[in-house]
Amino acid sequence: MSEGKNRASISIGDEVEVVQKHHQSSRELTQGIVKRILTNSKTHPHGIKVMLESGIVGRVKNIIKD
C-alpha cells in the first residue's frame, strides 16, 4: 500500500496505522486518529509523518477505510 506515502491522501481526522521511529525494525504498527500532518512535502518514500490525537508521532503505513 503506497497511499501513506502521498500527503494528499491523508486528512486530519483520518484513522491510520503508523510506525513509530523506535518500532521501525520490528514494524510494529500503532493505530490512531490524525491530529497534525508533519511532513511538508507532497510525498515521502517511508510514509508521511503525522501526529496522532494521542500525541504519538509516526509515519503512515495504512489508511483505515470505513
pLDDT tens for 7-51 read: 999 999 999 999 999 999 999 999 999 999 999 999 999 999 999
Residue 43 has which C-alpha cell? Answer: 510525498
C-alpha to C-alpha distance for 66 and 59, rounded to whole angstroms:
20
Residues 6+ apart with CB under 8 A from 57: 18, 20, 21, 38, 49, 50, 51
All domains in the chain, ordered by first residue: 3-63 (2.30.30)
Are 57 and 51 spatial neighbours (Cβ–Cβ below 8 Å)? yes
pLDDT at residue 66 in the model: 62
- The three three-digit cell numbers of residue 65, written as one number: 477505510
